[in-house]
Amino acid sequence: MHIDALLAPLAEPLDISAAQVRAQIAPDSVLVVLDDDPTGTQSVANLPVLTRWERDDLDGALATGAPAVYVLTNTRSLDEDGAARRNREIVAVALESAEAAGKHVTFVSRGDSTLRGHFPLETDVLAAEIAAHGGPAPALTLLVPAFPDAGRITVDSVHYWVTGDEATPVGETPFAADATFGYSSSDLREWVAEKTAGRIVASCVFGLTIDIIRSGVDAVEAALRSLEAGTVVAVDVVEESDMRVVALALHRMRDLDVLLRVGPPYVRAHIGQEIAEPVRAADIPFAHDRGGLVVVGSHVPLTTAQLDALKLARPETKTIELDVRSLIGPGREAHLDAQARAAADALADGSVIVHTTRELVTGADGDESLDIARRVSSGVVELVRRVLAIAPPRFVIAKGGITSSDVASEALEIRRATVLGPMLPGLVSLWQPQTGPAVGIPYVVFAGNVGDADSLVKVVATLADGR
């Protein structure tokens, strides 16, 4: 569908500022965002992010007074048992830490804007664990997967992927064919029914539509308060102000606890952050003079197009290829050793691109595909770890959700970091590591499915050339 035909019947968006939202936030409130891969930070700035969740980690993050704290769970790379266990661990520690700090926590399950991930498992586990620790059962679960900056919007409960002038229902895109988290429904109400195997029928999912949202905060609050406890709410979003209206309504409803399952930008709207300007090269601290390391693990078509564009724009840049079949086969160690040494040597002369072969190797089922993805990702991690020990690069860019998570927590050993801001408007997060061997090495978290063909070129230019 042409985007104009989709949007033409809609009422005009309301003029709601970030400052209006900030003014309504209770001083003792904090969002704890369980981010299923690190790309969820791409829409926010100046917030703490943790890759570990011991009590000291949460205590330190809450002590900053930040309105939101990100905890990197990386559960999109785990099976259901592993994802459930990790969510339970984090909730238990976060509740203890919040009680000690005098904070009221709203838990946010950050998922993919193209609907991949462990739903409803993660929100079910969060609700059960909150109750197990004596907290109130969440009255509502709000689904807000929209990511307008990246062309993902929701209208009349149907979730779309917008490219150019065309809005495609997300169930008709390659993302819906994901080997592990695939689905067929584009209407979020039907998607909930599909993902819950009918436990929640589509007619019981409430559509918080644009016509309600653009009628104002009062209308949204009234609609939400009219719902039965436990209702799942599919939230329409076309632009930032739509999310701010919903956020204002929720801030008024402090007497009700809710769960949020969201795409990247909703947290920004909820805490009243402005849409941050991209970080400038002059604002980025560098500790090393070598070239930068660009690590590409994602296999989605957009990532491959961005990789091709980078090679074309910077033909002098050394490219090191990691063969996927070698990484999952008996020649793994020799292959990693040779490629790591080649990458470290090349950093003396400029930036280096490391990417896995573009062949997508999958297993017989979702669990086997996840296992292959983990083995490949661990190979990428090991290469980065070896390069870091030999020749620390000027910067590191990791492309892809699982890749960027594992590179952050395992290769660079980042335990705590600060999200400085986006490298592109609303997209692509720049972290400043606070711990580990990567201190002084700017780290860019670059999702596989965002931006356009030249986005990776632009980010590398800012970091490598200062422009």
Amino acid at 241: S
Helices (H), ranges, 155-296: 188-195, 210-213, 217-225, 240-252, 266-270
Given a contact cutoff of 8 angstroms between Cβ atoms, the answer to whether 327 and 367 are in contact is no
The per-residue pLDDT for range 402-427, each reduced to its tens digit, is 788 889 988 999 999 999 999 988 78
Helices (H), ranges, 253-393: 266-270, 301-313, 324-327, 332-346, 366-390
Amino acid at 83: A
Helices (H), ranges, 41-115: 55-63, 80-101
Query: Cα(187)–Cα(196) distance, rounded to whole angstroms?
Result: 14
437: left (phi over 0), alpha (psi -120 to 50) or beta: alpha
CA angle 408, 311, 372 (to 5 degrees): 45
Q: Given this model, what pLDDT does residue 361 score?
A: 65
Q: Given this model, what pLDDT does residue 364 score?
A: 64
SS3 category, 422:
strand
Query: Cα(25)–Cα(27) distance, rounded to whole angstroms?
Result: 6
What phi and psi, each to the nearest 5 degrees, are found at residue 257?
-90, 140
- Residues near 450 by Cβ (< 8 Å), separated by ≥ 6? 39, 42, 147, 149, 150, 302, 427, 428
For the chain, residues classed under CATH 3.40.980.20 are: 281-465
What phi and psi, each to the nearest 5 degrees, are found at residue 265?
-80, -10
Amino acid at 133: H
Q: Which fold has domain 281-465?
A: Molybdenum Cofactor Biosythetic Enzyme; Chain A (3.40.980)
For the chain, residues classed under CATH 3.40.50.10840 are: 3-270
Question: What are the tokens at 134?
Answer: 């004596």
**Stated pTM of the model:** 0.89
Average pLDDT per run of 10 along the chain, which is 467 residues long?
95 97 96 91 94 96 97 91 97 97 97 95 97 93 96 97 96 92 97 98 98 98 97 98 98 96 97 94 91 86 90 94 85 92 95 82 71 81 93 93 84 94 88 92 88 93 87
Given a contact cutoff of 8 angstroms between Cβ atoms, the answer to whether 127 and 137 are in contact is yes
What phi and psi, each to the nearest 5 degrees, are found at residue 10?
-80, 150
Q: Out of 3.40.30.10, 1.10.10.10, 3.50.50.60, 3.40.50.10840, which CATH number does the structure's domain 3-270 have?
A: 3.40.50.10840
Given a contact cutoff of 8 angstroms between Cβ atoms, the answer to whether 5 and 40 are in contact is no
Q: How far is Cα of residue 58 from the mean position of the Cα atoms in its chain?
A: 20
Given a contact cutoff of 8 angstroms between Cβ atoms, the answer to whether 432 and 442 are in contact is yes
Q: Given this model, what pLDDT does residue 315 score?
A: 94
